[in-house]
Structure 1
């Protein structure tokens, strides 16, 4: 069981770092989406959810004598910042950002499924509801992004065709 617990704590630290990375990515995108108010509003909602998720994971880590990985959190934030900054130079940033966000949501969904399975094996019943809530929120965001990808793309294309700044 010690090996399972080690994996569990590592995956929990990874999930916390992932949420911190998501916050950095979303905040970077938000600063450049003023012409996409529906997308902007949904990302703002998910930022609030993600802040709560990161805090809940941090508390779980602290309660299991395993603080958040400062190295992983820092590297994740740096990676997300690089991604957010690189998008500033892409004409089709909003489309690529929506695609990348959808992919990232799928990774988060998978991580929570793994954590739920492992918490069940370890009988960590206090963590399971946290993971289930996070999973539901990530699934909702992924579904929303998928359902609105057509709309986001069409707004981008219309703005580009009209000679308007398409990426903002």
Structure 2
């Protein structure tokens, strides 16, 4: 496998990741109905995630690759299952926030690695598009970090 093929493979992983996370975010937005600010931000990020998947698809194609249908199918199934995992719990908002915060940081690491890989194979145009995605992921991670203490306080208050 050439370096370019390896980057295309990793981009396919990122594409599948975005599809899975979109499913999760849609469910988490519904779970956040009691907090309009959080719900709106999660809905916004779900839309960003849809766009990110399209951007990654374009990056794959611009490098001469094809999107992996099998990776995408598995990712969507995983996203559906994970999005429903915390639904009946009294602390759903905390568990969703933890899962989303972890996912954002995983995405940040993935995109940083992909940007570096694209720079190394001379695909600077792809690296630039991925940098835009990275900035959106970093912004969402900051938002979640700010909101986590409130979710914890609310869950504890409900338990008392």
| TM-score category, normalised to shorter length | over 0.9
Question: Over residues 106-153 of structure 1, what are the superposed CA-to-partner deviations in whole Å (9 max), with x where a residue is unaligned?
Answer: 110011111111111111021011111111110111111111101122
Q: Residues of 2 paired with 1:33 and 1:148: CA distance?
A: 12
Work out whether 1:91 is the aligned partner of 2:125: no
Runs of 4+ in 1 over 6 A off after TM superposition: none
Report matched runs for 1:118-157 at 5 Å.
Answer: 118-157=117-156
Greater relative CO, 1 or 2 (CA 8 Å, sep 6+):
1
Unaligned runs of 5+ in 2: none
Taking structure 2 as the reference length, what is the TM-score of the superposition? 0.93
Q: Cα distance, 1:160 vs. partner?
A: 4.4
Question: Over residues 17-61 of structure 1, what are the superposed CA-to-partner deviations in whole Å (9 max), with x where a residue is unaligned?
Answer: 111111000011122221121211110111121111111111111
Q: Residues of 2 paired with 1:68 and 1:28: CA distance?
A: 25
Matched residue, 1:15: 14
Unaligned runs of 5+ in 1: 162-168
- RMSD after superposition: 1.4
Matched residue, 1:76: 75
- Count of aligned pairs between the two proteins: 160
Matched residue, 2:99: 100
Matched residue, 1:165: none
SS at match of 1:13: helix
Q: Residues of 1 paired with 2:120 and 2:63: CA distance?
A: 16
Q: Residues of 1 paired with 2:157 and 2:35: CA distance?
A: 12
Q: Which moved more, 1:148-157 or 1:138-147?
A: 148-157
Taking structure 1 as the reference length, what is the TM-score of the superposition? 0.89
Residues 36 and 152, structure 1, Cα contact 8 Å, conserved in 2: no
Q: Residues of 2 paired with 1:151 and 1:91: CA distance?
A: 15
Q: Which moved more, 1:149-158 or 1:39-48?
A: 149-158
